[in-house]
Structures are given as C-alpha cells and as structure tokens.
Amino acid sequence: MRITVVGSINLDFVATAPRLPRAGETVTGARLARHPGGKGANQALAAQRLGAQVTMVGRVGRDGMAEEALALLLAGEVDVAGVVTDTTAPTGVALIAVDPQGENQIVVAAGANHSVMPEQLPARIETPLILQLELPVETVEAAVGRATEFVCVNLAPAAPVSDQLLRRADLLIVNETEAAFYGDLLHHGGGRVVVTEGAKGAVLYQRGVELARATPPKVTAVDATGAGDAFVGAICVALLEGMPAQEALRFACAAGALAATRPGAQPSLPTRAEVESLIG
C-alpha cells in the first residue's frame, strides 16, 4: 500500500515539568528533550511503521534543525523526495510542555511549513492521501482537488475550510474540540467522520449515524504528544487494508494508546507488531 502525506515537519522542544503553568506563571524543574515532530511527519511515520509505503510532501528550512526534523523519517525509510528545503524560512518548531500525567500544552512556530504552496504539489496525487491543517489552507484544498484516491483530512488545528473539501474527503478526523468548531458541517458529505475522545476512545460516524465505537486498552500515559497522529496513521492503514469499521477503530485506538506510553511524538509511534500484541 502506498500513501502520500502532505503536511507539516517540525522539530519539537519538549519540556517535561512537575506541572503545566497557568497564564503568566513560570514553572521550574523541567527536563528538556528534542524530537522530530509535526502532524504531517508524525502521521507519515506512523503509517510507515504500521505497514504502508509513505511519500512525504513538505518543507524544512536551510538550518541545523532540518536534519534533526527529518532524521526519523529517513531512518524509517519514508520517501522524502517531496520535501523541499526553503532558503528563506526556518524549519518549523513546536514548543511543548508536558506534565507527569502526560497532558501537554503546545505552541507551534510554523516556519517553512507556511511556505508549502500549491505549486509544490504533484499535478495529480494518485495514491491515498492524508492531510492536516498545519499548512496553508489553500495548499490543503489544492491537494484534495488533485487527489484521485482515498482522502483523509485530520482537521487539526481547527480552521475554516471549504464545503467542497468537507464533502470530498472520504474520512474526516477531529477531536472533541474540533468537532465542536465544525458542528454539523462534518456530516454533510457522504464520507466517514471519526471523533476522538482521548482516553475514552473514538466514535466513527457516517452521515451523522454512529457506525462503531472503541475504547483504548488501559496503559500508563507518559506523554500524549503524537498519540492523535498515531491514531490517524493507524486508522487510515486499517481502512485501506479493508478492516471492518469496528476493527479499524480498535486498531487505531491501540496505536494511539501505545504512543502515549512513551515520550516524544515520533519516537513514541508504535510498530505493527506492537499494536497487534497489545490488542491480543
């Protein structure tokens, strides 16, 4: 199975602290780590580790952070021929604070990700396609318009998009906050919609009718960063392989749960064997 991911590539700076700060507050005693991240790159590596052959389309800066940001994609044999080096904008960065329970706060400086324009895209995208909203919306819309196969759009972070995109997507994925932002618009097309609910699991709908519901296995959460991206990669792989809705949702919930048990976004993404072992 071949999949194209058009999306963001970041370097994550992760500070694990005794607790998350309130507005205007400084919390000391944190430990700092650097990990490759970005929703697009995370979902690309997640799908690759779960059995797909993935091509990544994105952008990094001409700086020292780019090599780190791409390191795990390259190690995981993701095809990065579609990744362009930008000569004017820096590599995207995410600043992440994590508490001992795995909850996080994230601020993203998009950098080169906001320079991914429609001109960088293939004229036709003839493989299944996964997208998020950490790129300019016009680029996401253009990619959807050039796709000839299955299209999944993870509507995160929430932003206004065209009705055409919502209707064209075969699969829309949102969390509870994003679901509230889009409301009934999510269900106006004929595609499927997944609403993730964190530790409570996820629900799959079609035309507003619930098709399946699953809860993740019990795990000890360390860092939720990347768990949602593991879910996206997993459910796309599962559905494209032809798994029934309930089985695909269960598989994706297990992948997300496993990602939450390890620190960092891309370092935490599970392999196919790990997911299948957890499901049992």
Grouping H, G, I as helix, E, B as strand and the rest as coil, residue 223 is coil
Answer whether residue 101 shows pLDDT above 90. no
Least trusted range by pLDDT, from 88-92, 149-153, 158-162, 264-268: 264-268
Q: What percent of the chain has pLDDT over 90?
A: 92
The model's pTM is 0.94
Asked if the model's pLDDT at residue 49 lies above 90, the reply is yes
155-to-22, 68, 85, 141, 173 alpha-carbon distances in Å: 27, 26, 25, 12, 6
Domain spans of the chain, in order of start? 2-9+37-91+111-279
Query: Residue 24: its pLDDT value, please?
Result: 94
Residue 163 among the catalytic residues: no
Span 8-16, mean pLDDT? 95
Instruction: Share the mean pLDDT of the chain.
Output: 96
Q: Which of 99, 170, 223, 229 is catalytic?
A: 229
Q: What's the 3-state SS for the chain?
A: CEEEEECCCEEEEEEECCCCCCCCCCCCCCEEEEEEECHHHHHHHHHHHCCCEEEEEEEEECCHHHHHHHHHHHHCCCEEEEEEEECCCCCEEEEEEECCCCCEEEEEECHHHHHCCHHHCCCCECCCEEECCCCCHHHHHHHHHHECCCEEEECCCCCCCCHHHHHHCCEEEEEHHHHHHHHHHHHCCCCEEEEECHHHCEEEEECCEEEEEECCCCCCCCCCCCHHHHHHHHHHHHHHCCCCHHHHHHHHHHHHHHHCCCCCCHHHCCCHHHHHHHHC
pLDDT band (50, 70, 90) for residue 163: very high
Q: Which amino acid is at 23?
A: A
Instruction: Give residue-wise pLDDT tens across range 185-208.
Output: 999 888 999 999 988 999 999 999
pLDDT at 16: 92
Q: What is the CATH number of domain 2-9+37-91+111-279?
A: 3.40.1190.20
Bigger pLDDT: 49 vs 96: 49
